[in-house]
């Protein structure tokens, strides 16, 4: 059986030109070689799988190459290049700091630095995962890093620059590596597939690139996995099945349901997603990205931010034309809130379903609000008085004919029209006020219906004895103009009766928003003598019965509480 080499090793770049997505760093290093301005220490930092160690090896091989090409790349044929390719070079040393991070390991390295290279001009020391070195190891390395021999060059590679001591950072030239973009990754994967004789669909490679999250090494590993599953024909359907990736089709269908407020279809589609084993949190995160992609399609200047294939991009543009900006803004807010509250929710599925219901209702709410405001504006315009005419000025009336008929005075409409000079906020406020006035309920009711509502109110406030007693003390009386009169025994009861809850209950129960409650103090309410309620009233009543209590209060300097 032929020995298999994974694509990440088989197609590892051997020149600066073949490194994907790091052209600026390759150009800078080649210029430094050309001008012979090599630093003694470099720090390559960035995410995993973006070419830090690869660039360090290429750089080390190039500066020791005995026959550079015109493009300042290693020739690959000289003794130095051959020894490096065969793994027997004594001029290039690699140290894994994850497993060799003690002071003793660094001391061995500093002793080795004194030995000059056998082939080439430089001894290059590549320290991978440099952030794993202990503080003591860093401190032991400081002096050598600051003043190394002329033939020694150090290249530190790390994914966590913030863990490197500032004293180390200050002694290095720092190169920040970028995440590999999806188009660059797709192009590189397509080249490898062509070399391997694998037929691929662009959308399949796009899914792999998105799954890799900017790491080329991860993309190559996922590509090998997909090829092992699909064989020589890499299709979009097979890739999403193998990688357990949710199909774009679900998000396009869901958005269509939201736009046409078909909440039942949205819930059924979500149930289908869960039945296929997909995680609800990943589903809502993917839905957020779908809304984001639709939003960037709304403006030609942001189309470059859409990282999908051409076929899917056309579908995004078509659906973006159907979705309003306001819908996408609110949809992103809903999905973002759903993501934030997912882990703390006691019922995650219901939490997501409620968000789907809100998304299904956004378009209908916007439509209703637009219809109401448009209709209301029409009412205002209809009720506006006709434009005033400006007749020629008439002579001043004489005292004899100074009487003016009131019939000529124009009558103002009930709906106040806003001035042309009014601000937009004032116009909107006027429209909203008139909207509330028109929506007020004014259902007529009788004394019997009022008593029935009052009885139900008493039954609902049984937990508040003082309020229940007050409500039972007398019956309300319906008067003209939707006025409800109710006598009470004292000021404290009057304050209780002014509760907005009581008035709101009557308005909702009787379907009339114009009800007014007239509460008056009557010392002989319901034929009973006034009873003391407050502390002052009780103390006054006690003095009337027992005058000595007043003298006791004065002698002992007591307070009424």
- Render pLDDT for 506-559 as a digit per residue (tens, 0 to 9): 888 888 888 888 888 775 544 445 566 677 777 787 777 777 777 777 777 777
Query: By the 8 A CB rule, do 62 and 72 touch?
Result: yes
**Res. 394: pLDDT tops 60:** no
Structural domain boundaries, residue 481: 447-527
Burial of 368 (0-12, 13-18, 19+ CB in 10 A): exposed
Q: What is the pLDDT of residue 364?
A: 60
Distance CA 430, CA 416 (A): 8
Nearest residue to 506 (alpha-carbon basis) of 435, 449, 464: 449
Residue 26 shares a structural domain with residue 156: yes
Mean pLDDT of 371-392: 47
pLDDT of residue 400: 37
Domain assignment present for residue 117? The answer is yes
Report the domain count for the chain. 5
Residue 544: its pLDDT value, please?
Answer: 77
Separation of alpha carbons 275 and 283, rounded Å: 12
Model pTM score: 0.58
502 pLDDT more than 60? yes
**Do both 543 and 455 map to the same domain?**
no
113 and 148 co-located in one domain: yes
Structure confidence by residue, pLDDT tens digits, 436-489:
666 677 788 888 888 888 787 777 765 555 566 666 666 788 887 788 887 877
Question: Residue 303: CA atoms inside 13 Å, Cβ hemisphere, count?
Answer: 14
Question: Averaged over 34-44, what is the pLDDT?
Answer: 92
The CATH number that applies at residue 360 is: 1.20.272.10
Q: How far is CA 238 from CA 210, 220, 233, 286, 426, in A?
A: 16, 17, 9, 19, 59
Does residue 267 lie within any of the structural domains? yes
> Does 439 reside within a domain?
no
Residues 20 and 156 in one domain: yes
Phi and psi angles of residue 128, each rounded to the nearest 5 degrees, phi first: -85, 150
> What CATH number is associated with residue 205?
1.10.8.60
Quote the mean pLDDT of the chain.
80
Tell me, yes or no, whether 143 and 40 share the same domain. Answer: yes
Domain assignment present for residue 262? The answer is yes
In a domain, 382, yes or no: no
Q: Rounded to an integer, what distance in angstroms lies between the CA atom of residue 180 and that of residue 187? A: 11
- Inter-residue contact 193 to 200 (CB < 8 Å): yes
Q: What value does the mean pLDDT take over residues 27-56?
A: 92
User: Average of pLDDT values for 53-65?
Assistant: 92
> Does 12 map to a domain?
yes
pLDDT, tens digit, 9 for 90 and up, residues 270-311: 999 999 888 899 899 999 999 999 999 988 888 888 877 777
Both 258 and 286 in one domain: the answer is yes
Q: What is the dihedral angle through the alpha carbons of 232, 236, 242, 246, rounded to the nearest 10 degrees?
A: 170
Q: Domain containing 102 — which CATH number?
A: 3.40.50.300
């Amino acid at each position: 059986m032929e020995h298999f080499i994974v694509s990440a090793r088989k197609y590892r770049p051997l020149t600066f030109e073949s490194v994907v997505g790091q052209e600026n760093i390759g150009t800078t290093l080649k210029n430094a070689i050309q001008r012979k301005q090599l630093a003694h220490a470099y720090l390559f930092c960035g995410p995993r799988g973006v070419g830090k160690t690869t660039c360090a090896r290429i750089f080390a091989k190039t500066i020791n190459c005995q026959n550079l090409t015109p493009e300042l790349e290693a020739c690959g044929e000289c003794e130095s290049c051959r020894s490096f390719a065969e793994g027997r070079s004594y001029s290039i040393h690699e140290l894994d700091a994850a497993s060799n991070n003690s002071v003793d390991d660094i001391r061995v390295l500093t002793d080795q630095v004194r030995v000059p290279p056998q082939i080439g001009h430089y001894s290059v020391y590549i320290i991978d995962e440099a952030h794993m070195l202990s503080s003591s190891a860093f401190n032991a390395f400081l002096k050598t890093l600051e003043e190394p021999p002329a033939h020694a060059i150090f290249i530190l590679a790390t994914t966590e620059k913030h863990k490197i001591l500032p004293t180390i950072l200050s002694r290095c030239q720092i190169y920040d590596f970028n995440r590999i973009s999806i188009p660059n990754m797709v192009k590189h994967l397509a080249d490898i597939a062509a070399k391997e004789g694998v037929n691929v669909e662009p959308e399949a490679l796009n899914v792999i690139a998105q799954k890799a999250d900017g790491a080329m090494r991860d993309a190559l590993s996922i590509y090998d996995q997909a090829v092992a599953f699909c064989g020589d024909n890499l299709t979009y359907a097979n890739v999403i099945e193998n990688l357990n990736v949710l199909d774009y089709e679900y998000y396009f269908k869901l958005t269509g349901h939201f736009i046409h407020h078909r909440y039942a279809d949205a819930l059924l589609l979500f149930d289908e997603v869960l039945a296929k084993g997909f995680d609800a949190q990943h589903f809502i995160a993917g839905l957020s990205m779908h809304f984001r992609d639709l939003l960037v399609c709304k403006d030609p200047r942001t189309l470059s931010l859409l990282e999908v294939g051409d076929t899917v991009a056309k579908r995004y543009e078509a659906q973006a034309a159907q979705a309003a900006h306001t819908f996408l803004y609110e949809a992103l807010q809903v999905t973002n809130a759903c993501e934030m509250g997912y882990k703390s929710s006691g019922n995650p599925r219901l939490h997501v379903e409620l968000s789907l219901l809100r998304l299904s209702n956004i378009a209908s709410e916007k439509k209703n609000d637009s219809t109401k405001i448009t209709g209301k504006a029409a009412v205002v315009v209809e009720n506006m008085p006709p434009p005033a005419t400006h007749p020629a000025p008439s002579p001043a009336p004489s005292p004899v004919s100074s009487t003016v008929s009131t019939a000529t005075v124009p009558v103002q409409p009930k709906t106040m029209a806003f001035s042309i000079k009014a601000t937009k906020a004032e116009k909107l406020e006027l429209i909203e006020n008139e909207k509330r006035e028109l929506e007020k309920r004014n259902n007529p009711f009788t004394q019997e219906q009022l008593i029935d509502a009052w009885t139900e109110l008493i039954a609902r406030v049984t937990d508040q004895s003082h309020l229940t007693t007050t409500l039972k003390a007398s019956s309300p009386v319906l008067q003209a103009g939707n006025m409800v009169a109710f006598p009470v025994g004292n000021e404290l009861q009057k304050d209780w009766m002014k509760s907005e809850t009581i008035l709101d209950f009557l308005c909702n129960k009787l379907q009339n928003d114009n009800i007014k409650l007239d509460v008056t103090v009557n010392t002989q309410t319901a034929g009973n003598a006034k009873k003391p309620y407050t502390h002052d009233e009780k103390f006054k009543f006690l003095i009337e019965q027992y005058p000595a209590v007043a003298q006791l209060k004065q002698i002992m300097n007591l307070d009424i509480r």
